[in-house]
Structure 1
Amino acid sequence: MTGTTDFSALPVIDIGPLIHGSDDDRAVVAAQLGDAARNVGFMYLTGTGIGQRLVDSLRAAAARFFALPFDEKMAVYIGNSTNHRGYVPEGEEVFAGGGVDKKEAYDLSLELPADDPRYLAGNPLLGPNQWPDLPGFTEAVSAYYSAVFELGRTVLRGFALALGRPATYFDHYVTEPPSQLRLLHYPEDLDAVDRLGIGAHTDYECFTILKPTAPGLEVLNGAGVWIDAPPVPDAFVLNIGDMLELWTNGEFVATTHRVRKVTSERYSFPLFFSVDYDTVVEPLPEFVTPERPARAPLIAGEHLHAQTAQSFTYLRNRLAEGDLRLPDGALALSSFGHTARLGA
């Protein structure tokens, strides 16, 4: 059974050949990506071509934003938006079975104009960002977003090869996706003892490309043991999300993870790489067998919105008040990954 190994560390994969290697080189890297996706669900990526200067600029911008007075951050409160963009104060986000998160965040996604017809029609995830009035912030964050989003396109082509498909197989699903970048800030908390920074969860998109600044991330292996995943110099962390688990009918695993034991200040920058909102995701036929029947299909954007609506307080309030409803067939939180398989 895939995705249940008792791994004790994350594999490190040099993806440089995906960017500038031969067909044979790309095939080797694709095989490594596929093996990691099947047996671990998490990996470190090196050779990305993204320089430290871009990361440093993002961190500096994030530090300036989170240092603002609370009222100034709340001027771009995520609950003021109609497409889930903006500042997330501590306690706003609660995962399944979790307590209040010890973190704050700023969330953005692919910038679309305010006159985009999908935004005007009320799409809950598409449209413009809600930017703070902070000189240089938009430029630094946008530059990082663009670079890591393009890295995501490259990695998705590697996964296509790993699945025996042409490298461009998924390209037409990635035109204007709601791929979200989060700037996460964990304040210093000297009293933190085994306190969850982020509750155990899987990510809702295809995969996540993460740059953390300090330890804290833990990954659940197939034996039910939490494994440390500390930062590795010049590397990004990548983890499989719900949509690649669904596309492969469980062959790739969206591994459950969490953040804990955060006592010193920590930043973390995940880019949740998604496909277009209306993409119908269903198991590829080669992964469907009598022993492993096909899982029910999902619409990528609806799944992302439904999971988000169940974990953010302002959206849960709208659900309770009847101003918002979940899409038909919406899954409960923790419906993917090891915890779902174990019934946890």
Structure 2
Amino acid sequence: MSPTSFTELPVVDITALRTGRPEERAHTVAQLGRAARETGFLYLSGHGIDPALFDRLLDAAKAFFAQPVEEKMACWIGKSSNHRGYVPEGEEVFAGATADRKEAFDLSLELPDATGPLLGPNQWPALSGFREPVTAWYDAVLALGHTLFGGFAEALGLPRDAFAPYLTRPTSQLRLIHYPYDPTAEDRPGIGAHTDYECFTLLRPTAPGLEVMNGAGEWIDAPPLDDCFVVNTGDLLELWTNGEFTATSHRVRKVTEERYSFPLFCTVDHDTRVTPLPAFTGPGRPARPGVVAGEHLYAQTVQTFRYLGRRLADGETTLPPGALPLSSFGQEARHAPRS
């Protein structure tokens, strides 16, 4: 396998990150590092999360999305000041893509004492039996994400707790995404190619559709594996490592079957300044410009959500200084036509 030729994703069992002896942990860390450098995507097993938590999450998502649209719109994301709530079909459009038959519910860390475009409390629907299983899943996967931060740190030759100072109140977002059954769907791109804006993503999908771009610019299928997460590194780890880890571009092609997808976008505290670590800079390897984690996330979000685009056009919000355009990271950026 190489950065230009992979045709499938590696599977990494991280049991040793939770319970293993030092030599077992070292082996797992080496596998994580190899996957992050060579593919930017991997399947993660041995995560230790109770399967019942996922079953309850899926039941809650099905109950929410089965409601009439007017019930779901009662917590429309555009009613919030911090980008949390229901995302109807057509609200989110990636560059170069058409609107998908896709709806979502977005939430993040509850921060009732904080204010900002991505900070504050969640907007919850008035649906019995929804909040508790969704919160339980969020908490469990967020803890898994913190374990993985330690593994990635060691894979970079850093202390296990290197990222811990930036994980006091991370605004990691969980999305509940629903693609309804669509018998007219053709096997073609749906969600446009993009990288994830945070450090890495922990994803549990229920059906195929995800495709990953390899180093040669080819699209590789990444179907779900039983009781495994799909993990991909994002913009911030690419930046922190000055390209040592790659934010791999990916997309979702249109499929006819009903599909649910649950990504948790693991990030750091909102005000964290992310710049290349000294170990990954030097002669012939200049440091890329840094970003503020929360500002980068907000800038990318404004460019993909229509309600925020309208606020931007009306002067109700602004892009942070130095905001990057979409697709500034990952393989898609490397293979984009030069004008």
In the TM superposition, structure 1's runs of 4+ consecutive aligned residues that sit over 3 Å from their partners are none
**Aligned counterparts, 1:244-255, within 5 A:** 244-255=237-248
Match of 1:96? 95
Partner of 1:141: 134
Q: 2 CA distance for matches of 1:22 and 1:331?
A: 42
Match of 1:85 in 2: 84
Tell me the equivalent position of 2:210. Answer: 217
Instruction: Indicate the residue corresponding to 2:5 in structure 1.
Output: 6
TM-score by length of 1: 0.96
Superposed displacement of residue 22, structure 1: 1.7
Q: Is the 8 A contact 1:3 1:251 kept in 2?
A: no
Amino acid paired to 2:5: D
Distance 1:292 1:342, change over 3 A: farther
Q: CA offsets, 1:63-112, max 9 Å, x none? A: 00000000000000000000000000011001112111220000000012
C-alpha displacement at 1:3, in angstroms? 8.1
Structure 2 residue 31 is matched with structure 1 residue 32: yes
Distance 2:21 2:298 in 1: 39
Tell me which residue corresponds to 1:124. 117
Unaligned runs of 5+ in 2: none
Asked if the contact 1:3/1:41 (under 8 Å) is kept, the reply is no
- Report the CA distance between 1:6 and its aligned residue: 1.4
Normalised by the size of structure 2, how large is the TM-score? 0.98
- Once the two structures are TM-superposed, the CA of residue 233 in structure 1 deviates from its matched residue by 0.7
Q: Deviations over 1:134-160 (max 9, x none)?
A: 111000100000000000000010000
Deviation per residue, 1:248-299 (Å, 9 max, x gap): 0001000000011311100000000010000000001111132221100100
Q: Which residue of 2 aligns with 1:263?
A: 256
User: How many angstroms does 1:197 deviate by?
Assistant: 3.1
Taking the aligned partners of 1:95 and 1:324, their CA distance within structure 2 comes to: 20
| Equivalent residue number for residue 202 of structure 1 | 195
Q: Does the 8 Å CA contact 2:13/2:45 hold for their aligned counterparts?
A: yes
Is 1:55–2:48 an aligned residue pair? no
Aligned pairs, how many?
337
1:26 shift after superposition: 1.4
* 1:184-236 Cα deviation digits (max 9, x unpaired): 00001111113433111000000000000000100011111110000101110
CA RMSD in angstroms, aligned pairs only: 1.2
Residues 3 and 252, structure 1, Cα contact 8 Å, conserved in 2: no
Partners of 1:336 and 1:25 lie apart in 2 by 33
| Letter matched to residue 228 of structure 1 | D
1:307 aligns with 2:300: yes
Q: Is 1:176 the counterpart of 2:175 in the alignment?
A: no
SS of 1:75's partner is helix
Deviations 1:32-62 (A, max 9, x none): 1110000100000000001211111000000
Asked whether the equivalents of residues 102 and 198 of structure 1 are also in contact (C-alpha less than 8 Å), the reply is: no
| Percent identity over paired residues | 64
Distance (Å, rounded) in 2 between the aligned partners of 1:101 and 1:318: 22
